[in-house]
Structure 1
Amino acid sequence: MDHHDDEDEKVPLIQQLLDSPFLLLFLGVVIPMVIYNLWGFIDILTIPAAK
């Protein structure tokens, strides 16, 4: 019986990223924070000036 080891096979990058729980936690906190902050700044900048 031919036993083939997959140790020489590279793990895809996306699988390495998805296998890291702390990286996923970091991205899950940082990405919404950045989006909401950008959304807030854009909202503030588009408010018309008072007369």
Structure 2
Amino acid sequence: MPPTEQSASSERVPMMQRILDNPFLLLFLGVTLPTVLYLIWGIMEVASIPLAK
């Protein structure tokens, strides 16, 4: 029995497809993730500098 339009439209869209289809979410992730990673990297670099005597 071939699928009808109603059953095809009621299928759940996979989570990754919903994420990748949302350009604003991709923009947000593309700006936020590098910013957070560089911030953490910078904090680790500053913390690793030995104290002056």
TM-score by length of 1: 0.91
Pairwise mapping of residues 26-45 of structure 1 onto structure 2 (< 5 A)?
A: 26-45=28-47
In structure 1, list runs of 5 or more residues that go unmatched.
none
| CA distance in 2 between partners of 1:31 and 1:50 (Å) | 33
How many matched pairs?
50
Report the equivalent of 1:4.
4
| CA distance in 2 between partners of 1:14 and 1:3 (Å) | 24
| Structure 1 ranges of 4+ moved more than 6 A | none
Deviation at 1:4, TM superposition (A): 2.6
In structure 2, list runs of 5 or more residues that go unmatched.
none
Deviation at 1:35, TM superposition (A): 0.2
| CA distance in 2 between partners of 1:3 and 1:34 (Å) | 46
Identical positions, percent = 48
Q: C-alpha offsets along residues 8-51 of structure 1, whole Å, 9 cap, x if unaligned?
A: 11000000000000000000000000000000000000000001
Letter in 2 for 1:34: V
